[in-house]
Amino acid sequence: TRLEYAMSYTVPKPSVLVMGYPSNPTAYVADLDFYQKVVDFAREHKLWVISDLAYAEIYFGDTPTPSMLEIDGAKDCVVEFTSMSKTYSMPGWRMGFAVGNQKLIGALTRVKSYLDYGAFTPIQVAATAALNGPQDIIDENRALYKKRRDVMVESFGRAGWDIPPPEASMFAWAPIPEQFKELGSMEFAKRLIAEAGVAVAPGTGFGDEGEGFVRLALVENEQRIRQAARSIKKFLGEG
């Protein structure tokens, strides 16, 4: 409905649709039925689709994250980007790649040649080694984040804060505990860091619809997560 509204009332008319699943911050995972609708919509309205798959390899079920390029005809209008940062633990290296529609990839190549001279050569060599070498590190990272997710859900739940288990990504999208709802996500996040020493991202930082939620990141080890849970339990008890 929103896409139809945007195509009808936005001036100038949109030419590109950008989306990213698994999602940051909600950790939502799109399925192939959803992607089929996106591709059909894009072809009908002559839109290019840019799909961000940065968290594609961090999934916690038995089924790998789907790609929009699995849909018949997707290459007519879709380009998918992914990042070495998450899959191969290379944050800050600014290295990734794109696949998909030949015309768009060609345009990207030309634009990149105008804007920069390429990444530092050792980083390119390291990225090539990661892509062509053993891939067991991907399974290890996935297991690491899944264990952290399980520890967070379990320990925070015992502390009195129920966290919906994310299906993928390195984030959890959590509703504010009931007794703090009236504070809003920004004020709750401020109190949480000031009184419990736990930092979360307020949902409003991701748009108006993020109100009532905060984003938690699975970037700390299990011990630190349990430590945060103990602080949160004390905080919730005093609140």
How many angstroms separate the Cα of 8 from the Cα of each of 1, 2, 37, 40, 46? Answer: 11, 10, 18, 17, 13
Triad 106, 44, 69: Cα angle to 5°: 50
Do 24 and 62 fall into the same domain?
A: yes
Q: What is the pLDDT of residue 213?
A: 98
Do 73 and 128 fall into the same domain?
A: yes
What CATH number does the domain containing 17 carry?
A: 3.40.640.10
Query: Which element (helix H / strand E) includes 18?
Result: strand 16-20
DSSP string, 1-12: -HHHHHHHH-SS
Q: What is the pLDDT of residue 170?
A: 95
Domain that holds residue 165: 137-238
Do 103 and 204 fall into the same domain?
A: no
Do 51 and 124 fall into the same domain?
A: yes
Domain count, the chain: 2
With a cut of 50, which residues of the chain have pLDDT below it?
Answer: none
Do 98 and 205 fall into the same domain?
A: no
Do 11 and 116 fall into the same domain?
A: yes
Q: What is the pLDDT of residue 117?
A: 77
Q: What is the pLDDT of residue 2?
A: 86
Domain closes at, from 103, 132, 161: 132
Q: What is the pLDDT of residue 239?
A: 58
Do 141 and 127 fall into the same domain?
A: no
88 vs 95: CA distance, rounded Å? 10
Q: What is the pLDDT of residue 232?
A: 97
Domain closes at, from 87, 108, 132: 132
What CATH number does the domain containing 152 carry?
A: 3.90.1150.10
Query: pLDDT per residue over 17-72, tens digit each?
Result: 999 999 999 999 999 999 999 999 999 999 999 999 999 999 999 999 999 999 99
